[in-house]
Structure 1
Amino acid sequence: MSRILVTGSADGLGRAAADALLSAGHDVVVHARNRRRAAALDALVGRGAHLVVGDFAERDAVRHLAAELNDAEPLDAVIHNAGVWSGPAVMPVNIIAPYLLTALLPSPHRLVYLSSGSHFSGRPSLSGIDWWGKSAGSYADSKLFVTTLAAAVARLRPGVLSNAVDPGWVPTRMGGPSAPDDLELGHRTQEWLVSSDEPQALTTGGYWYHRRLREPHRSVHDEAFQVRLLETLAEETGTALQGL
C-alpha cells in the first residue's frame, strides 16, 4: 500500500484517480481548492481518504499545504493533477504549484505531472510570462513548462520516477461534454505509474498517453531549456528544488 496525494481531486480526472486508488487499497490524500469544493470529497473521506485544502493560485497556500503534508506520514507518490484551462490562475496553478510542491515535499519517489496534447503548441520562451497570475496566461505554455519540469526532475533526481501524462481530451468539467477521448482511459495511466510494479511503470522521464510512450515537444528534453526553466522558477518563488 502506498500513500498517494492526488491534487485537484474534487472532480474530473483527479476524483476518478483518487477513487480508483482508494478502491485498490492505497492510502490516498485528496485535495480541494477550498472548503466549499472539499464537500464534494465527503464520500472519499468517509471511505478513509485524508483531506488537504489549499488554493494553488496562492503561493503561501501551497507552502502551508506542503508543511501540513510534511508533518504527516511521508508520501510515496504525487499525481500533480490540479489545473485550470484559462484565466489569471493558469501559470500559478499549472506550473508554479507543482514546482513548489516538488521542491517542498522531499519524500515522494514517484511523481506524475498532468500534461496535455496542447503542450505541443507551447512556446519554449520564458520571457514575458506572468508567473504571478495578474493576467491570463497561455495554457499551452503552462503545459509545456510542466512537461519539461517532469523531464528535468527525472534527469536530476535519479532516485525518483518522474513522468508526464497526457490524459487526452476527456469529458470533464474542464474538457466539456463533447470531448472525444475516453474518460476511463484518461485516469488509468497516472494510477499505474504511481502504484504498479510492472517494469514499464518503473521507468522515468516519459511522456505517456494511455500507457504508451510518446515523443513530447522537442524542447522538453533540451537540457539548456530545462536549466533555464528551473532557474526562472527558483528565482520567481524564492525556492530551489532540493537535491538539484
Structure 2
Amino acid sequence: MSRILITGSTDGVGRAAATSLLDDGHHVVVHARTPQRLAAVGDLTSRGALSVVGDLAHRDEVHGIAEQANRLGPFDAVIHNAGIIDGSSLLPVNVVAPYVLTARIPASRLIYLSSSMHRGGRADLSHADWSGTRKTASYSDSKLFVTALMAAVARRWPSVLAHAVDPGWVPTKMGGPSASDDLALGHVTQAWLATVDDPEVLVSGRYWHHRRTEEPHPAVHDEGFQDELLAAVHRHSGIDLLRR
C-alpha cells in the first residue's frame, strides 16, 4: 500500500480523494489550514489517517508543513490539491506552495491540480507578485503556472512521475452550486495516478481529465517558459528545485 499526502483535504475533491484512498487501504496524510479545520476530517483521522497543519499562503507555515510531513514519510505520492480561486494569495497558494513542497518533500509521484481554465492563462511572469501582497494574476494564470511546473518537474526529474489533473467544474465550495460536472468523478483521476502501475500512468508529464490525457496550453511544454517559471519562483523562495 502507498503512503500519500493530500494538501487541502478537509473538504471537496481533496477530502474525497483522501476518503477513497483510505477506503482502499492506503496510508493517507491529510492537510488542514488550521488546527480547528482538522475537525472536518475527524472521521478520517479516527480511521488511521495522519495529519499536517499549515496555511499555504504563508511561507513559514509551508516549510512547517514540509517538516511535519517528512516526520511522517517517506511518501509514495503527493497530491497538490489545495488551491484558491481569487485574492492576493493566488500565487502563493496555487504556485509557490506546490513548488516549495515539491522541493522539500521527496515522493516518487507528484500530482498537481490544474483546471481547464488554465488554457485562458497568460504565459507572462513579468508582473507576478509571488509574495501575495497584491493580486497580479488570475486564477487561470495560476493554473497555467502550476501545470507548467508539473511539466518542468517531469522534464528535470526523470525518476519522478509528475502529472496534472483537471478535476472538472465540480460543485465544491470553490466550484459553487451551479457547477455542471460530476463531483463523484472529481477525485478519481488523482487517486488512480497516485497508486496504479498502468503503462499510461507511467509516462510522466501528462495533463489529464477523467482518466484521459488532453493537450494543455502550449506554454505548458515550452521549455523556455518552464525554466523562466522555475527561476522566478527560485528567486522568490530561495529554494532551487533542481538541487533538492
Is contact 2:156-2:242 (8 Å) kept?
no
Cα separation, 1, equivalents of 2:19 and 2:146: 24
Residue 141 of structure 2: aligned partner: 141
Contact (CA 8 Å) 1:2, 1:76: kept in 2 or not?
A: yes
TM-score normalised by structure 1 residue count: 0.97
Aligned to 1:178: 178
Partner of residue 29, structure 2: 29
CA contact (8 A) 1:124 1:225 kept: yes
| Matched AA of 1:89 | S
Shift of 1:243: 4.2
Given residue 110 of structure 2, which amino acid in structure 1 is its aligned partner?
L
Say if 2:123 and 2:219, in contact at 8 Å, map to a contact too: yes
Does the 8 A contact of 1:79 with 1:112 survive in 2?
yes
Q: Output one character per residue of 1:53-85: Cα deviation in whole Å (capped at 9) or x when no partner.
A: 000000110111111222223011000000000
1:72 is matched with which residue? Answer: 72
SS at match of 2:112: strand
Q: Distance in 2 between matches of 1:14 and 1:67?
A: 21
Q: What whole-Å deviation, never above 9, does each CA across 1:134-182 have from its counterpart, x for those lacking one? A: 1233111100000000000001101000000001100000001110001
State the secondary structure of the residue aligned to 1:18: helix
Query: Which is worse superposed, 234-243 or 217-226?
Result: 234-243
Q: Which runs of 5+ in 1 are unaligned?
A: none
Q: What CA deviation, in whole Å up to 9, does each residue of 1:31-73 have, x standing for no partner?
A: 0000121110100000110011000000110111111222223
RMSD: 1.0
Separation in 1, partners of 2:38, 2:139 = 25
- Shift in alpha-carbon separation, 1:97–1:89, aligned structure 2, 3 A: same
Question: Matches of residues 225-236 of structure 1 in structure 2 within 5 Å?
Answer: 225-236=225-236
Alpha-carbon distance in structure 1 between the residues aligned to 2:37 and 2:152: 32
Superposition pairs of residues 36-185 of structure 1, within 5 angstroms: 36-106=36-106, 108-136=107-135, 137-185=137-185
Q: What is the match of residue 16 of structure 1?
A: 16
DSSP-derived class of the 1:48 partner: coil
* Alpha-carbon contact 1:112-1:165 (below 8 Å) kept: yes
Counterparts of 2:24 and 2:124 in 1: how far apart (Å)?
41
The number of residue pairs the alignment matches comes to: 243
Specify every segment of 5 or more residues in structure 2 that has no aligned partner in the other structure, as ranges.
none
Kept after mapping to 2: 8 A contact 1:157/1:243? no
Give the drift of 1:223: 0.3
Q: Aligned with 1:220: secondary structure?
A: helix
Equivalent residues of 1:66, 1:101 under 8 A apart: yes
2:192 counterpart residue number: 192
Preserved CA contact (<8 Å) 1:171 1:183: yes
1:104-147 Cα offsets, whole Å, 9 max, x none, are 112x0000000001101110010111111112331111000000
Give the residue type in structure 2 aligned to 1:148: A
> Separation in 2 of the partners of 1:167 and 1:68?
27
**1:200 Cα deviation after fit:** 1.4
| Contact 2:113–2:166 (8 Å) recurs in 1 | yes
Tell me how far apart the structure 2 counterparts of residues 185 and 160 of structure 1 sit (CA, whole Å): 25
What per-residue deviation string (whole Å, max 9, x for no partner) do you get for residues 169-221 of structure 1? 00000001110001111110000000012111222100000000000000000
* Aligned residue in 2 for 1:221: 221
